[in-house]
Amino acid sequence: MKPPTFVQVLGEVLITIGAVLMLYVVWQVFVNDPIVGSVQQEKAKQFAADKSSTAKSFIEITPNLKQGAVFAKMHVPRFGKDYERLVGEGTFQKVTLNIVGVGHYVTSEWPGEVGNFAVAAHRTSHGAPFADIDQLQKGDRIWVETNDNWFTYEYRQTKIVSPRDIGVIDNLPQGLAGAVYGGKYMTMTSCHPKWSNDQRIVVWLELVETNAKSRGMPADLLEEKRR
């Protein structure tokens, strides 16, 4: 039997590398994403809405929170009736986006404040918390839960922008029709389209209600979760 030539061996090595790279993509999308997503969901559930004895508390919101510090939780029924994700400080991938799930832009406001509470999350990979961000539509509500309050934000507008359009997370969001100084907005950002880093999808919401945590989960969110 003739030994294989150098070219034959090189060809087989290159084919093997190609196959491994494709397997990595398959792992990332079909294995890792659902696992990481469910881990993020389970972690979020450990921070219970009602302050039971076993529930964890969020970190109190103070200036200069460290990257990754979890200070809130988001409930987005449009992404699934039980969808909950923690919100961590900062948008560094390794610390916040890849681990916590949703990250708060450090230059933006806190939940419920006048101005713009802006967050980012992966559209694909690492649990893909904002995989369905493009599905948000008129009438949708998002609830942000902190230690003391429930903030109810209502959908206003979706826009596709360039990654350079950083004004979308300004206090007065650039591109949001009808935005006024003194408004209380929330901005969600992620990559667009899926599997691409070329553009950003931006969803704006506006605060419509604030409830003290002591009053329990807002009735309309409870209703959404029971559907």
Partner 1 sequence: MYAALYRKLPGGPMLKSLCLLGILILVVATLFAIVFPAVETLLAEDPSVDG
Given the rule CB under 8 A, which residues bind partner 1?
A: 1, 4, 8-9, 12-13, 20, 23-24, 27-28, 31-32, 91-94, 97, 103, 105, 120-125, 130, 163, 189-192, 197, 200
Nearest approach in angstroms of CB 42 to partner 1 is 18
Nearest approach in angstroms of CB 32 to partner 1 is 7
CB 149 within 8 A of CB 210: yes
Q: Which is nearer to partner 1, 121 or 221 (CB)?
A: 121
Q: Which is nearer to partner 1, 28 or 147 (CB)?
A: 28
Nearest approach in angstroms of CB 71 to partner 1 is 18
Q: Which is nearer to partner 1, 119 or 221 (CB)?
A: 119
CB 197 within 8 A of CB 124: no
- How many C-beta neighbours within 10 Å does residue 210 have? 15
* Segment holding 50, helix H or strand E: none
Q: Which is nearer to partner 1, 130 or 153 (CB)?
A: 130
Closest alpha carbon to 184 in 91, 112, 110: 112
Q: How far apart are CA 223 and CA 92, in angstroms?
A: 35
Q: How far apart are CA 218 and CA 49, in angstroms?
A: 10
Nearest approach in angstroms of CB 3 to partner 1 is 9
